[in-house]
Amino acid sequence: MGCGCHDCEQLMQPYMDGVLSEEQIREAQEHLERCPGCDKRFRFEAKLRHFVRIAVDEPMPAELKARLAGLRIAT
């Protein structure tokens, strides 16, 4: 089960998105320092977000890139 820190859990996503007020940031950081359970989950969330970004990355086919260049109107 979780560590039961409901308020902290609520702050984690906005904290990572960088949209908290300075006071809320301080609150989140202080809690993370005191609570190893939340601290570990926070690290997990940050790594998960990175992993998702990498996992779904698919490079653009070179052939499409050439087609896009062919659409140019300017000469």
Partner 1 sequence: MSEGAPTAAETRRIAEEARDRVRFEEEALQLSDQVYRVARRLAGSRDEAEDLVQDTYARAFRSWQQYQPGTNLRAWLLRILTNLNIDRGRRSQRTPEQTPLEEGDYYLYNRLESTMPDENPDEERVLERLSQNAVVESLAEVPHDFRDVLVLVDIGEFSYAEAAQILDIPVGTVMSRLHRGRRILKQQLADKAIGVG
* 68 sits near partner 1 (criterion: CB under 8 A): yes
Binding mask 16-55 for partner 1 (x = CB under 8 A): -x-x--------------------xx-xxx-xxx-xxx-x
The answer to whether the CB of 40 falls within 8 A of the CB of 20 is no
Residues 65, 26: Cα–Cα separation, whole Å: 46
DSSP for residue 60: P
Q: Choose, by CB under 8 A, the member of 7, 10, 26, 29 that binds partner 1.
A: 10
Residues lying near partner 1 in the complex (CB under 8 A): 1-2, 6, 9-10, 12-13, 17, 19, 40-41, 43-45, 47-49, 51-53, 55-61, 64-65, 67-69, 71-74
